[in-house]
Structure 1
């Protein structure tokens, strides 16, 4: 079987979200759930810049070992006025001590845990229509009261 070249990843933008304390829904039939409200934020890149409209949420499932599975929906507004829906699913995991530090809202060095998401964008903007037609990945970082992502386009 022939292997293809490794896909190129191109930086899209950095995203910073300011978040509230989580609402702990508790253990439901779907798992140990909590909901984290996104208060605001911004994104910066060479092709796309703007703010995060307050009101998005991350519906987190916490697995038995402390790993979190994200299901987030937020709304972006570019500086030129385009509205862009952003959803993403992701995983944050690491050893139990690191996960406990993150749970206590402590800063942990990025190389001590895995935090990757797959953003999907949706917009009616002709200028940013290409966002509807690409695959993206993001490297996340949890900070006290904030979450940062560096988002990349996969392929050219």
Structure 2
């Protein structure tokens, strides 16, 4: 019996607009970044990111652990709860480019996430029945995440 090789199906891209991070307890290690809106577009889902929620993130050494929670409103009006957790780290030279506002591609840094979706909307139940992963990149005031269903 041969080993199963997983595959990925692209389902949509999130463009999550964010505000400036807030430092928690006066330390640079723990931050909360408010989510202020955004868009959802792709072959399986379209809609908008509602201006509700935030991304809590902790930096330990060179790695940042992310824990975001927010809401999507699909084009049909259905609300979808999003929990998105992941990791961010990059080589020093790439991190400097990110902080300088340069475009850095998904392959140049490790910015990976895993999703859990919840909704009572029958049309979007497929989101609650599979594992989803994301490849992210930063743009000015926006986090872009290409979301894939793990097959």
TM-score, normalization by structure 2: 0.91
SS at match of 2:94: helix
Distance 1:59 1:105, change over 3 A: farther
Aligned to 2:140: 144
Matching residue within 67, 71, 75 for 1:71: 67
Q: 93-102 vs 115-124, which deviates more?
A: 93-102
Count of matched residue positions in the alignment of Structure 1 and Structure 2: 151
TM-score, normalization by structure 1: 0.88
Unaligned runs of 5+ in 1: none
Q: After the TM superposition, list the runs of 4 or more consecutive aligned residues in structure 1 that deviate by more than 6 angstroms.
A: none
Distance 1:73 1:100, change over 3 A: same
Aligned to 1:58: 55
8 Å CA contact retained: 1:106, 1:144 = no
SS at match of 2:29: strand
Give 1:95 shift: 1.1
8 Å CA contact retained: 1:84, 1:121 = yes
Q: What is the alpha-carbon distance in structure 2 between the residues aligned to residue 16 and residue 106 of structure 1?
A: 17
Give 1:104 shift: 4.9
8 Å CA contact retained: 2:106, 2:135 = no
Unaligned runs of 5+ in 2: none
Aligned to 2:13: 14
SS at match of 1:127: helix
